[in-house]
Structure 1
């Protein structure tokens, strides 16, 4: 069996892929900016369609893209909630060991 050794440790927020966004490494505003940028670029792309025959298709595509943006936003919120609960669980499992808040943020 062939195994590639990498320095990726997603649990610690490390990845060799520069395009990978770690939710825990971004503040709330950072994620909102990414989603807003996605929605803006989607709208700009659809604005380039000028044919009247495809107007209905354009509306459907816009609705789908906005729905996808909403889903991404909800996923980010739920991911942050899971991260918060994991940090709390780690503290419960290790009540006697001092865990600094910045160390928990890196989990």
Structure 2
């Protein structure tokens, strides 16, 4: 083996060491800066998506709850409609009876006064 082969071997080894050091440095940079930055970006994106999903879910639930409340109220009104009509009818009858009773009392008072005046 000659001097040229020895110099070539040393130069190749030195180049491999420099390349290895550069690769190791790149791995360190990747591990210290790039991966954590991507992790933070992924977390941020996930949090944004979760917030959007929460808002969408809240809106959907509120809308559905409102529809159910409206439907339930309508069904209750329909269920008690016959009773409501009955109560309204009875109230009208009661008011008519009250008017008739007041008129009868007025007539009774007038008749009583006439009878007392005649005696």
Tell me the TM-score normalised to structure 2 length: 0.37
Tell me the TM-score normalised to structure 1 length: 0.41
Q: Which structure's residues are more often helix, by fraction?
A: 2
Higher normalized contact order (CA 8 Å, seq sep 6+, divided by chain length): 1
Rg: which structure is higher?
Answer: 2
